[in-house]
A and B are shown apart, each in its own frame.
Chain A
């Protein structure tokens, strides 16, 4: 076990896969020099320019090239410097790569990993701070994982590279600098589709991904009124229904914390499933704590407010447990 930062866990996972499989290679903008988050630092020196390939700023070309190379038996790991950049190349992932196996009746497969820095909190403004998981949900043929700490970054990224289908890895940029213990090697690999139970409690199930796992933990630790099962989904597509439903069946209450717009958020699917499966045994209506329906502002105070804060999560859960009704979001009546 080693202590490392999340960005170092990225480097370690990439390095371990490059080492163990000659078909793995990296491709993206400025990855040779490490990129803005130093998440590929040192790899070009270690593995050379034929396995760490710097590309022009042409996302459609190099993401699509990832699809083509993957279909020919390579395992490309394509970096999108910021997840928004996938927008100019979305066709290649969602319409081409994701459907290649289906259309070819399994003759071609696309073992392609797309790493993308995502998430708010560092003042990158509305075009470099979104999660954008909603672009991929409902799209057959691909998976999506969201690490929340150095260990899950290492373990999920290695699984993504080993997957025989396209996998999007949303790397929360506010977590790159966080430190944690990491088990490397085979023992550190985390399967796609498996949630992690972070804490066990009796009053409420809190479902979170990426940065909101941190928020959930600090909310739990900052009060003594209630205990919680905190579930880090780790994989959003396909999400671990069994772990979530079993937990909510036990606690009777479900709260989802999402760092993205209220409308169309991933929590709608979680709460809908819980209501459908557990109708009649819920102690309170499932509740979503999200960001408002607005682009992400730059000014620090507003960006902080955009994100579900620890205090806000605590007050929302307190009210839910006390009243048995959904608390109103902070922005209600303000627009």
Chain B
């Protein structure tokens, strides 16, 4: 039986990682059709173009480590192990969704692989990750917390307060900025006076690194070093992954604010292509293997959609469950 945990283990090979990145892309590309057919409510925030960051992170962390992530969380959830049925089911508000259809696209979760309910408030996941790390430190185990957030979060108070506190407490937490150059609809140079956001670590005497977010191997090596550093009790790191999202901020954003040619330029460095070409160049994987893999994923996602659409929405009882411990 396929579980989130067994899917997580598939990231132990290069082929498995490529497959997961392709799957994330395919799942996200299916959402627009689901929306057009009236199955998706509210908003969704795609991470296409950023897949290598999520899969790289999930490759390095143990399932017992904990991740807090923003509402741009489809990629992180799938990377960490949540099934396409779990993610698409949640986006469609069905009971088989990873949060039982109660959360929606912005609130994906799976405790079995360490994914806390994703956070729909910018910056909110950072203090919580610090608390997770504090708990690990107090319990004297070697778990780490990792928090994924966008460039926009680096201008919110929670970012600065948490980095400062994590540094003085030497907490085992890894802060990962997905710098995709836009905070919602606004280009970074209009909101932020520096271009290398990792430099903000300097104010907090924190270890920092800038990494090419389109290259999964670079991400893996950067995250590995930070995780090792944290597990050894040396404290937090701030990692800035330079990346790009191919879609607008949310579904309603056509991203007309992009610089001319910028999108095409980033697509030249597509993280899926980089990973596939590298794998093919090593000889053990061919172009036809890649085509076969893509076809399998297309089939898997369409099966997932069938399963999701055949699934019920949560029952009325669920509305009142889990409000407080004393509840039903």
Say whether A101 contacts B323, CB under 8 Å. Answer: yes
Q: Which residues of A lie under 8 Å from residue B326 when comparing CB positions?
A: 165
List residues of chain A with CB within 8 A of the CB of B158. 60-61, 64
Across the interface, which residues of A come within 8 angstroms of B116, CB to CB?
A: 71, 100, 104, 108
Segment with Cβ contacts to A, from B102-110, B227-235, B238-246: B102-110
| Contact residue among A25, A70, A107, A143 (Cβ-Cβ distance under 8 Å from B109) | A107
Which of B107, B109, B111, B127 is within 8 Å of A67, CB to CB? Answer: B127
> When A101-B325, A108-B117, A165-B324 are in contact, do A58 and B164 touch as well, CB less than 8 Å?
yes
Interface band, chain A: 35 or more
B107, B116, B128 — which one has the most chain A CB atoms within 10 A of its CB?
A: B128
Q: Shortest CB–CB separation between residue B104 and chain A, in angstroms?
A: 10
> How many A-B contacts are there with CB distance less than 8 Å?
141
Contact residue among A73, A76, A92 (Cβ-Cβ distance under 8 Å from B124)? A92
Residues of chain A within 8 A of B168, CB atoms compared: 56
In-complex Cβ contact of A68 among B117, B130, B164, B322 (8 A): B130
Q: Is the CB of B121 within 8 A of A95?
A: yes
A55 to B162, alpha carbons, bound, how many Å? 11
A301 to chain B, nearest CB (A): 38
Residues in B whose Cβ lies below 8 Å from that of A61: 126-127, 130, 158, 161-162, 164-165
Cβ contacts under 8 Å, B182 to chain A: none
Distance between Cα atoms of A101 and B102 in the complex (Å): 12
Residues of B within 8 A of A273 (CB): none
A window 96-115: CB within 8 A of B: 96, 99-109
**Do A69 and B124 form a contact, CB below 8 Å, given A56-B161, A58-B164, A60-B157?**
no
| Nearest CB of chain B from residue A133's CB, rounded to whole Å | 18
B-contacting residues of A (Cβ < 8 Å)?
25, 50, 53, 55-56, 58-74, 76, 88, 91-92, 95-96, 99-109, 140-143, 163-165
- Which residues in B have some Cβ–Cβ distance to A below 8 Å? 66, 68, 99-100, 102-103, 107, 109, 111, 116-117, 119, 121, 124, 126-136, 138-139, 145, 157-158, 161-162, 164-165, 168-169, 321-326
**Top 3 A-B pairs, shortest CB-CB distance:** A64-B127, A68-B131, A65-B131
